[in-house]
Amino acid sequence: MNLMKMMFSVILMMGTLISISAYSWINIWIGLEINLMAFLPLINADNMKQSSEVSMKYFLVQVSGSMFILFSFILSLINLGSINELISMSQLIFNSAIFLKMGAAPFHFWYPEIVEGLSWMNILILMTWQKIAPMILVMYNFQMNIYFCMIILISMTVSGIKSWNQTSIKKIMALSSINHIGWMTSTMFLNQSLWMFYFLIYLLISVTLILMFNKYNTSNMKDLFMLMNNNKTTKLFFFLNLISLGGIPPFLGFLPKWMILNNLIMNNMTLLALMMVMLTLLSLFIYLRMMMQSLIIKSYNKKMYFKSYESFPIYFLNWINIAGLIVFTIIPNMY
């Protein structure tokens, strides 16, 4: 089983690399399909109750996106009507298909449901690695227009509102991922290096949180309350990572958002930056409510201890997250 997972993980990475380094559209499509066919066995390897259902849903959604991508390629080659109209229409269909494949709103209908049926490690893959190829493909023909502004604002609005009544931590993390898609989309056209920096910090915070959830098999709020009330160190690290994910200073998650807002304002997109800040407060409210509930609500059960000798990687990632903003602030000022 481990050998099979390793093999399909390598194929998964190879499909993404083929897509982002291809010179022709057909090779891009082939890379996306290789990536899809490698991720489906990883889903079925979870041996969870919903694995078959989730793999079928994911397959149908991704195949639908691939179909629209091929349709956009064909449409761009048809010599009917105005060339400019055809190009704009094919770009609109292509970008919509790519946003469907990555789960951005308003094409997010499948994303929280599929995340709910996955294991934590596959959720990590879906939230991080599976977004690299679609986002880089969007960069190839990205223009900051009304369409992309609507995608950004709808993603941030939907993720904030739909998180309010959620008790599943998996769905909260999925909706948080949709919120971060909006932030990363806003900086694709202006500064691609800043997009990479944001993605790396988002990857670090997501890995830290998901390793903690996976270690203690935490999937809903009740499990979280039991864990928080019996493990003080875990409670501290969880709170710090959660508010870092929300972008509150002085933690590492604040730095890329600060840089994106600065970049948007310098490019005369002050209104978009203001609306992004206001809509992010919706998600931040959810994180703060989770913290307050775990501080107030007591849930008695057998105690679970956070053993340090088993969790050195988690400790190390948490300390990077806590001290990261200080390091990134001090080092540039030394030169």
Q: How far apart are CA 27 and CA 34, in angstroms?
A: 10
| Inter-residue contact 69 to 19 (CB < 8 Å) | no
Nearest Cα residue to 257 out of 190, 195, 177, 326: 195
Helices (H), 22-110: 25-44, 51-77, 83-102
Q: How far apart are CA 189 and CA 219, in angstroms?
A: 36
Query: In sequence order, what are the beta bridge partners of 220?
Result: 168
pTM of the model: 0.88
Residue 36 confidence (pLDDT): 93
Give the Å distances, CA to CA, from 163 to 112, 117, 143, 297.
10, 17, 30, 20
Token pair listed for 108: 């997010």
| Inter-residue contact 151 to 99 (CB < 8 Å) | yes
Residue 306 confidence (pLDDT): 45
Residue 231 DSSP label: -
Write down the domain spans for the chain. 1-102, 145-335
Which residues of the chain, if any, have pLDDT below 70? 1, 79-87, 142, 144, 228-231, 297-312, 323-335
Residue 88 confidence (pLDDT): 76
Residue type, 221: M
Residue 104 DSSP label: -
Residue 91 confidence (pLDDT): 84
Residue 299 confidence (pLDDT): 55
Q: How far apart are CA 294 and CA 25, in angstroms?
A: 49
